[in-house]
């Protein structure tokens, strides 16, 4: 059920993103934007659409929000991969944008993908203006100096720090770098419905942290061919990670605990939240 649903969502979101890029005017940024939006697990889009389903919002209505979150995620990857940042030449098994094009194109395509994310949140199909502006505001909080960009800046700073980060600092870093956007995704159904976000916020907070712990585990145990990105980078760089701080077993135990917390947070939604519970299970068992 979960895998089928995820596959369906991957196809539907890819199609929505391809249409959104095709609507952009012809020019040097359309091809790299399109390229940056291919593939990926689409976990964030899944969270958007499943949280919308909790409030009986049809997939077609929530799709621009799902596309927006994937566009924002793609923007962050394109910039994070830049030589002046994480300097990655491989992403989802393919050359990164600055390798396939050049640095300037990667900066500008990333910039335009961030813009696209906000533009998508304006789509009237999402609902009345007050819901759309609430979505824009939540997305802005997830993206900028209070969210993703903040987390990435902390991550870059950590690389040149003389002492490795503490567990508390790593949790703070990840809350920005990956947690903020996962939280936005899981809350977006409640935002679009004008409903209380606290249960979905608690779910997302635990899920986001588990997600990052699993990322750190995969950086140690993962397979380059399966993950589609270079592995062992963090250990090579001497960076503090959840694995270096908690040990491999400790990190796995912590992730498992968090997944349980995430699933428990959804109890008020009953059976209709089963796909979101399964998503939490997926996060801890994923190999890529």
Is residue 153 within a helix (H) or strand (E), and if so which, with residue range?
helix 148-159
Binds a second copy by CB under 8 A, chosen from 22, 145, 167, 237:
145
Nearest CB to a second copy, comparing residues 175 and 246 = 175
Binds a second copy by CB under 8 A, chosen from 30, 41, 100, 230:
30
Q: What is the DSSP string of 13-34?
A: HHHHHHHHHHTSPSSTTHHHHH
CA distances from 215 to 178, 201, 209, 231, 284 (A): 11, 21, 10, 10, 9
The two structure tokens encoding residue 60: 């077609």
Return d(Cα 165, Cα 173) in angstroms, integer. Answer: 10
245 binds a second copy (CB under 8 A): no
Binds a second copy by CB under 8 A, chosen from 8, 11, 28, 236:
28
Q: Say how far residue 213 (Cα) sits from the centre of its chain.
A: 14
Binds a second copy by CB under 8 A, chosen from 14, 114, 178, 275:
114
154 binds a second copy (CB under 8 A): yes
Return d(Cα 199, Cα 42) in angstroms, integer. Answer: 22
Return d(Cα 70, Cα 42) in angstroms, integer. Answer: 7
136 binds a second copy (CB under 8 A): yes
Nearest CB to a second copy, comparing residues 146 and 256 = 146
For helices 59-80 and 129-143, the axis angle rounded to 10 degrees is 20
Nearest CB to a second copy, comparing residues 25 and 270 = 25
Number of residues that bind a second copy (CB under 8 A): 50
CB of 23 to a second copy, least distance (A): 9
Binds a second copy by CB under 8 A, chosen from 39, 95, 144, 228:
144
Q: Which stretch binds a second copy (CB under 8 A): 42-50, 78-86, 221-229, 232-240?
A: 78-86
Q: What is the DSSP string of 241-261?
A: -HHHHHHHHHHHHHHHHHHHH
149 binds a second copy (CB under 8 A): yes
189 binds a second copy (CB under 8 A): no
Return d(Cα 173, Cα 254) in angstroms, integer. Answer: 17
β 90-91/94-95 pair status:
antiparallel
CB of 286 to a second copy, least distance (A): 27
Contacting residues toward a second copy, per CB under 8 A: 24-25, 27-30, 33, 75, 79, 82, 84-85, 102-105, 107-108, 110-112, 114-116, 118-119, 121-122, 128-130, 132-133, 136-137, 139-141, 143-147, 149-150, 152-154, 156-157
């Amino acid at each position: 059920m979960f895998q089928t649903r995820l596959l369906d969502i991957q196809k539907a979101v890819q199609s929505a993103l391809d249409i959104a890029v095709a609507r952009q005017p012809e020019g040097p940024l359309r091809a790299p934007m399109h390229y940056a939006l291919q593939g990926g697990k689409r976990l964030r889009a899944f969270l958007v659409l499943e949280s919308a389903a909790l409030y009986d919002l049809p997939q077609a209505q929530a799709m621009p929000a799902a596309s927006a979150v994937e566009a924002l995620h793609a923007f962050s990857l394109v910039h994070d991969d830049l030589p002046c940042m994480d300097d990655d030449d491989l992403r989802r098994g393919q050359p990164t944008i600055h390798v396939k094009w050049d640095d300037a194109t990667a900066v500008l395509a990333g910039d335009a993908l961030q813009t696209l994310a906000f533009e998508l949140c304006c789509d009237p199909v999402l609902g009345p203006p007050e819901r759309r502006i609430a979505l824009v505001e939540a997305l802005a909080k997830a993206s900028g100096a209070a969210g993703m960009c903040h987390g990435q800046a902390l991550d870059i700073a950590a690389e040149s720090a003389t002492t490795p980060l503490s567990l508390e600092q790593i949790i703070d870093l990840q809350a920005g770098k990956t947690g903020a956007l996962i939280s936005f995704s899981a809350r977006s159904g409640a935002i679009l419905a004008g409903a209380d976000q606290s249960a979905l916020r608690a779910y997302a907070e635990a899920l986001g942290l588990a997600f990052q712990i699993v990322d750190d585990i995969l950086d140690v145990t993962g397979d380059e061919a399966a993950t589609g990105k270079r592995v062992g980078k963090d250990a090579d760089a001497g960076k503090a990670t959840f694995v270096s701080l908690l040990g491999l077993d400790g990190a796995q135990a912590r992730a498992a605990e968090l997944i349980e917390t995430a699933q428990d947070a959804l109890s008020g939604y009953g059976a209709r939240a089963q796909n979101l519970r399964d998503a939490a299970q997926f996060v801890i068992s994923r190999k890529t």
